[in-house]
Amino acid sequence: MSESTLLPELIALSAQRTPQAAALTHGAATLSYAELDSAVGKFASGMVELGLRRGERVAIYLDKRFETVVASFGAPAAGAVFVPVNPLLKPEQVAFILQDCNVRVLVTSPERMALLEQALTQCPDLRHVVITDSASHTIAASLAPSVACLQWTALLGTAHRPGHRVVDVDMAAILYTSGSTGKPKGVVLSHRNMVGGAKSVASYLDNNAQDTLLAALPLSFDAGFSQLTTAFHAGARVVLLNNLMPRDVLKAMEREKVTGLTAVPPLYIQLTQLEWPESINRNLRYFANTGGRMPRETLTMLRQRVPSAKPFLMYGLTEAFRSTYLPPEEVDRRPDSIGKAIPNAEILVLREDGSTCDPDEPGELVHRGALVGQGYWNDAEKTAERYKLLAPDAPGRHAGLQLPEYAVFSGDNVRMDAEGFLYFIGRRDEMMKTSGYRVSPTEVEEVLYATRLVAECVAFGVEHPALGQAIQVIATAPVAEPGAPSESAELSSRLLQECRSRMPAYMVPSGIQIVAGPLPRNPNGKIDRKLLSTNWAAHGTP
């Protein structure tokens, strides 16, 4: 049996092996591999019929449902590139992504389309909107003349058309992640990146055709989408779950006899507060953590809930998919470690000059190998900051090699012990990690400034037992205007209300403190975020 090299082949090859096996479950409905593969092929034919050219972008703004998965694999099957958009994002954020990567086709639902009507006027490259349900005629009237609207069933009714020829180093996806400039960055991933990642993760999780994986994370996350790719590589079944209330997660695990769960620490913390049905322990082979460090107490409680399940603690970054995992047999010996490199990856710890650190010497985590992405879409400056050439004498490099090699420099400080196990120390930049999401301080600040209710503001992360980090804001009030909030508490409450209406829930600050201005500056004249966050950590005040 041939090996998958292109992303859609993960489904196609499993369909050849076991066409009637269950591939995807949503609610009470299940698609077999044959049915899923057929739908992917029909979507690809529809994209080609629309005139979509090789490498053009297809955005998918949906919750988890069959159409989301079909479009995600169908777009690259046509030779195009899929762009999963987090369903929690607000219309303005969705519009930014569509503009940034010049999206040609948008796949969405009538309900979500109603939210986007105004925002889509800012997307001049958009040519087609595919609506999942039967409201396309109503929606078409609200679109620009240059944008055509069609229904999902009509698209899949197109006659077979072969997709554009692509190879494994061609683009397959652009995954957007928060950037230090305040705007999300589009990480470009190739077919090789995504298929190689699926094979690597499936190998150490020992995924097999008898597995049922619960897709609890957003599919716009690399770790969330990985639940699909690893399962399809192994011929396993994926259960799509949108409602992440802890009790609903446990009910789904019990009902569907889930064997593998990957989630972020905040969800695991909530789950440990509940009683788990005994049948979950009988079925669950493993649980895996991503998106931040698992608190030791939470890990202990999870192992008490499901003693038969193996714990996998993982570290990764979208720019290189996944980097390390801690084997279950090492968890008791070194629970604070992020483990060793995953299969088909090498993790280096380097000094500022590019030389290799000694054991236990802090340095930057650098990822080399087939999983290294292709850079940030349309952002050469940021790409150059993160994707750098390895030194000619770096591990794995040899004097006779003529072509250079790019690796991902993570921006994270780590140390590696004498046995090769890695330990996370801290981030080099100012990104915040909350509820498994990476959030840029500037992204939060821009929303606050847009309210015109603050003169100055600064956002930073503070340690939080459930969220990983909570977002704290220090702000100064503008010169009072008629109708403006007059008291600090009133202004703080008003700002939080504005944040809730303008931001996804995970981005809303946990607290906003109003202080007298101006805020302190660093030698470059910028607001001194580091000083404010350090003072807050030490004293709880700016």
- Assigned fold of 30-188: Rossmann fold (3.40.50)
- Domain spans in the chain, listed from the N-terminal domain onward: 30-188, 344-429, 432-539
Q: What is the pLDDT of residues 358-387, one digit of tens each?
A: 999 999 999 999 999 999 999 999 999 999
As a whole number of angstroms, the longest Cα–Cα distance in the chain is: 73
Burial class (CB in 10 A: 0-12, 13-18, 19+), 244: middle
Question: What pLDDT is stored for residue 180 in this prediction?
Answer: 47
* Alpha-carbon gap, residue 54 to 57, rounded angstroms: 9
Residue 542 confidence (pLDDT) above 80:
no
Residue 284 confidence (pLDDT) above 60:
yes
Q: Which of 312, 247, 257 is nearest to 280 (CA)?
A: 257
CB 336 within 8 A of CB 425: no
**Predicted confidence band at 456 (pLDDT cuts at 50, 70, 90)?**
confident
Average pLDDT, the chain: 91
* Alpha-carbon gap, residue 148 to 217, rounded angstroms: 32
Residue 272 gets which letter from DSSP? Answer: T
- Assigned fold of 344-429: Luciferase; domain 3 (2.30.38)
- pLDDT: which is higher, 443 or 258: 258
Q: What is the pLDDT of residues 480-527, one digit of tens each?
A: 554 555 578 899 999 999 999 999 999 999 999 999 878 887 655 667
Q: How far apart are the first and last CA of the chain?
A: 62
Length of the chain: 542
Burial class (CB in 10 A: 0-12, 13-18, 19+), 449: middle
Q: Which of 259, 302, 262 is nearest to 282 (CA)?
A: 259
CB 195 within 8 A of CB 204: no
* Alpha-carbon gap, residue 255 to 282, rounded angstroms: 12
Task: Compute φ and ψ for 163, nearest 5 degrees.
Answer: -75, 165
Residue 223 confidence (pLDDT) above 80:
yes
What is the distance, to the nearest Å, from the Cα of residue 13 to the centroid of all Cα atoms in its chain? Answer: 26
Percent of the residues in the chain that have a pLDDT greater than 70, as a whole number: 95
Alpha-helical (H) ranges within 343-391 are: 380-386
- Pick the range with the lowest mean pLDDT from 121-125, 210-214, 515-519: 515-519
Tokens of 277: 């049905």
Question: What pLDDT is stored for residue 70 in this prediction?
Answer: 98
Half-sphere exposure in the Cβ direction for 178 (13 Å, CA): 21
Q: Which long-range contacts (CB under 8 A, 24 or more apart) does 454-460 make?
A: 454/478, 454/495, 455/479, 455/517, 455/518, 456/517, 456/518, 456/519, 456/527, 457/519, 458/519, 458/527, 458/529, 458/532, 459/432, 459/509, 459/529, 460/430, 460/432, 460/529, 460/532, 460/533, 460/536
Q: Is 13 left (phi over 0), alpha (psi -120 to 50) or beta?
A: alpha
Q: Catalogue the E-assigned strands of 109-265.
A: 128-131, 148-151, 171-177, 185-190, 212-215, 237-240, 260-263
CB 330 within 8 A of CB 339: yes
> Structure pTM?
0.86
* Alpha-carbon gap, residue 336 to 322, rounded angstroms: 18
Mean pLDDT of 38-56: 98
Per DSSP, the chain holds a count of helices (H) and strands (E) of 17, 26
| Residue 538 CA: distances (Å) to CA of 95, 462, 467, 511, 527 | 40, 11, 19, 17, 19
Q: What is the pLDDT of residues 418-434, one digit of tens each?
A: 999 999 887 777 778 89
CB 487 within 8 A of CB 495: no
* Paired strand residues for 422: 339, 416
Residue 292 confidence (pLDDT) above 80:
no
CATH numeric code, 432-539: 3.30.300.30
- pLDDT: which is higher, 390 or 294: 390
| Residue 287 CA: distances (Å) to CA of 67, 203, 477 | 27, 15, 46
Question: What pLDDT is stored for residue 343 in this prediction?
Answer: 96
Strand 185-190 vs strand 171-177: parallel, antiparallel, or unpaired?
antiparallel
**CA angle, 87 then 88 then 94, to 5°:** 70
Burial class (CB in 10 A: 0-12, 13-18, 19+), 350: buried
**Which residues are CB-neighbours of 103 under 8 A, at least 6 positions away?**
57, 58, 59, 83, 97, 123, 125, 126
Burial class (CB in 10 A: 0-12, 13-18, 19+), 161: middle
**Predicted confidence band at 310 (pLDDT cuts at 50, 70, 90)?**
very high
